[in-house]
Structure 1
Amino acid sequence: MNEKLKTTIKYSFTIILIIASAYLALKDVELIKLYETIVSANYLWVLLPVPVILLSHWVRALRWKTMLSPIIKSASTWNLFSAVMIGYAANNVIPRGGELLRPYVVSKREKISFSSTFATIVVERIIDVIALILIFAAVFFFFREQIVNSLPELDANKIVLPTIVFALALLVSLYPPIVRFLLKTFIKPFSKKYFEELNKIFDKFTKGFEVIRSPKQYLRLTYESILIWLFYTIPLYIMFFAFDFKIDYALGFDDAILLIVVSGIGTAIAPTPGAVGVFHFLITNTMVRLYGIAPEIALAYATVTHGINYLIQVIPGALFFLRENIKKIPKKEDLNSM
């Protein structure tokens, strides 16, 4: 399959996913009532999450700095924050598009190899998956019925592939000789040139996994990961006050945790640019099913919450795009040479 066809299929699938999730979110909603609810929200409360959202991104940059510490001792937190915001902005346009831009920006700024920097993105995803699984396990223990009702389409088979990828990545990070053996056995006999190139890339790539093999970093990574998820959850809780959910439905911080888990799992299974559509459907579905909130009010909450997060990612991200003088998305061949 050529690259152009793959891109067409990818974007077609994304568009279908957005349309389908938007339809599911809107199908029982009175648009006039939705508009009235959005307009009548208390926007003083809507603005309060802004510094918390920015702080969550700053802590993500700090955690990335921890991951990069085996490669570079004095990476600039500001450069990392710039890359994080650019990554988020790109993800709002292209699904997972920011995962290439982030290491590209840092490898240019900090003068380190793209392969090593990209490996830390893989490590970050592993840590995020572990964190989400642990939070999900805890929430599932206390809210089993609510989770099942909120994610009726949740299928264990959909978790198998990410789990396998995670296990393989962890295996590589902890025991690189396995990959070296595979390269030597299956690549070298057929092409010494490709073997040497792949071996060189793998050497750079494994540097990014060194933080996993460094027990002294575990505590710091754990602390920073907890902070990230805490700062992700707090805005959802604050937004309850913008719609009087605390008074009308007695929603608390535990309900905000449930919402962050449901949206996290859903967007991981069905990613769209900026979680558009999917986030709206999942949050609306959860609030309607669990708390008996009217679809219009639930969707208004999801729309405003998503909107403020979206703006806080796109606006700073666009400014950092200008700072880094990025005029186009780098091609894969350009990245491989870095």
Structure 2
Amino acid sequence: MMRNPKFQFVVGLAISAFFLYLTLRPVNFNDLWGALKTFEWLWSVPFLVLTFLSMWLRAVRWHYLMRPLGQFSSRRLFSPMMAGFALNSIYPGRVGEFARAYVLAAREKLPFTSVFATIVLERIFDSITLLLLLVWTFANLQLNPSDQVAYGKFVVTGQMLQDYAARFATMCAILLVVAVSFLFNKVREVFCAVVLRVPFLPKAWRERLAQMVHTFAGGFSSLLDVKAIIWTLLLSIGVWVLVGASMSVLAYGFPGMKMTLMQGIAVTVITCVAILIPAAPGYWGLMEVGIIFGMFTLKIDTVYSRALAYAFVCHALQIFPIIGVGLACLWTERVSLSEIRERSVTK
């Protein structure tokens, strides 16, 4: 039963529902409902347009990272990418990243590890971009370590954000060093030699792991293309500027609330740091407290119920349309959840 994909799908939804319940528990529903009723839903249209534009830019960026493996249009890459984002929002453990790589690899007859490496590389570029924006945000915010926002069982402080930002920077540096080092044949040969000498693994497994090292490194080959690196960095900046713009636009839906583009980017960066804290699929609870912390710190809105209403609307408009589109894309790819589950385990 535990290996049944439908059962796992239901479990994933149940986990998300449970954390949504925890998110709603500390809410004064009268105040929240009062704030939600003031929202002008017409503003959700430009928000969604900007959100999906940022997703399209992600597909364009992936096109450049995939070029060493073949010429794939952004349109072709959009479908598996959206399927991955949808499953990340439903399942724990970042299953969507494996799903995204598997869908494209299976349909285009590509090595899974090479495709997965391009996704790792994409995350590295995301990390670099966010890190740069993070430095700018913290430099301009003059964040106080004692600042604190509590939301039910979730608490975010200025010190926590600074600590996680430091870990984020360290992780980013390590990933970048690993990615670059894998481009050198000598490094790969040393790594493979170590793998082939692991005593407790069967010979077939060791040989397979050594082969995977080479195919995984193939996914990093775009780092040798200066043009691809420049475009990837520019598109990464574009992605996060569009996300910040969507946050800014949505604020206009609440009467009296204003958020500039730079404030929208700052709230986005703070929220991204907040959701680094381990949580549920879809980041329910942590995304809300991250948004509220950013809004309070930037003095965008100091009315808790309205800031919370904004956070809920923002989160819902981001996650549910992406789940819907992503699952539709998964269906068009003719890939079953059982395939993804089995391959994510074996890979």
**TM-score normalised by length of structure 2:** 0.82
Change (3 A) 1:261 1:148: farther
CA contact (8 A) 2:88 2:281 kept: yes
The count of corresponding residues between Structure 1 and Structure 2 is 322
Deviations, residues 89-127 of structure 1 (Å, cap 9, x unaligned): 101111312101101111122221111101101101111
CA 1:314–1:186 in 2, change beyond 3 Å: closer, same or farther? closer
C-alpha contact (below 8 Å) 1:70/1:210 kept by paired residues: yes
Shift of 1:40: 1.9
In the alignment, is the contact (CA less than 8 A) between 1:63 and 1:224 conserved in 2?
yes
2-structure distance, mates of 1:331, 1:91: 13
* 2:298 equivalent to 1:295: no
Determine which structure has greater relative contact order: mean sequence separation of CA pairs < 8 Å that are 6+ residues apart, divided by chain length: 1
> Is 1:285 the equivalent of 2:293?
yes
Distance 1:169 1:272 in 2: 28
The one-letter code matched in structure 2 to 1:22 is T
Provide the rounded CA distance (Å) in 2 between the counterparts of 1:319 and 1:158. 36
Structure 1 residues 16 and 300, CA, compared in 2 at 3 Å: closer, same or farther?
Answer: closer
- Any conservation in 1 of the 2:182–2:188 contact (CA below 8 Å)? no
TM-score of the aligned structures, taking structure 1 as reference length: 0.84
Residues 225 and 284 of structure 1: is their aligned pair in 2 closer, same or farther, counting only changes over 3 Å? Answer: same
Please name the residue that 1:79 is paired with: 76
Kindly, what percent of the aligned residue pairs are identical?
24
The aligned residue for residue 60 of structure 2 is 62
Does residue 178 of structure 1 match 2:159? Answer: no
Rate the CA distance shift 1:103–1:166 in 2: closer, same or farther, 3 A.
same
Q: Which amino acid aligns with 1:260?
A: T
Flag structure 2 segments of 5+ consecutive residues without an equivalent. 149-155
CA shift, 1:161, in A, is: 6.3
Unaligned runs of 5+ in 1: none
Which of 237, 244, 255 is the equivalent residue of 1:233? 244
Judged with a 3 Å threshold, the aligned counterparts in structure 2 of structure 1 residues 15 and 172 are, in CA distance, closer, same or farther, namely: farther
**Correspondent of 1:198 among 209, 227, 230:** 209
SS in 1 for 2:97: helix
Contact 2:124 2:176 in 1 (8 A): no
What is the Cα-based RMSD across aligned positions, in Å? 3.0
Contact 1:22–1:281 (CA<8 Å) still a contact in 2? no
Residue in structure 1 matched with residue 134 of structure 2 by the alignment: 136
Which residue of 2 is the match for residue 275 of structure 1?
283
1:287 positional shift? 2.4
CA contact (8 A) 1:267 1:279 kept: yes
- Partner of 2:252, secondary structure, is helix
User: Are 1:114 and 1:335, in contact at CA under 8 Å, matched by a contact in 2?
Assistant: no
* Closer, same or farther: CA 333–242 of 1 in aligned 2, 3 Å: closer
Identify the residue that residue 50 of structure 2 maps to in structure 1.
Answer: 52
Higher alpha-carbon deviation: 299-308 or 163-172: 163-172
1:92 aligns with 2:89: yes
Of 234-243 and 48-57, deviating more is 48-57
Distance change in 2, residues 1:245/1:273 (3 Å): farther
2:220 to 186, 209, 213: 209
**Post-superposition CA distance 1:272-298 (Å, at most 9, x none):** 312211111111233245425211101
Larger mean CA deviation between 281-290 and 200-209 belongs to: 281-290
For the 8 Å contact 1:83–1:106, the answer to whether it is kept is: yes
